[in-house]
Structure 1
Amino acid sequence: MREEGYFIYWKYVQKLANKRLTSYKECLSLLYHILVCVLFI
């Protein structure tokens, strides 16, 4: 389950990266999701 969670998260990161993360809110959202994934996956 852990590896599967990381795979899903990686696809999410790639999707955000495709937008080039120009928005400050998107950057904060990315940092928040990294924190959540580190703590809960």
Structure 2
Amino acid sequence: MRIAMESDATYLQVEILDQQAQLLEELRRDGELLGVSDRAIFYGS
């Protein structure tokens, strides 16, 4: 994530957060999932 942020690669940031959100969903960690989803929406808009 750090490299994607440093290179201003928004698409990569959103992809990383999407993968993280999918993992958190599988682990049923809903509280963390919401935070990651909010970050993905922020970077994607």
Distance 1:13 1:5 in 2: 12
User: Which stretches in structure 1 are left out of the alignment for 5+ residues?
Assistant: none
Q: How much identity, in percent, do the aligned residues show? A: 15
5 Å-filtered alignment, 1:10-25, equals 10-19=18-27, 21=28
Q: CA deviation at 1:18?
A: 1.1
Return 5+ residue gaps in structure 2 as ranges: 1-8
The TM-score normalised by the length of structure 2 is: 0.53
User: How much does 1:7 deviate?
Assistant: 0.4
Q: Matched residues in 1 for 2:25 and 2:36: separation?
A: 14
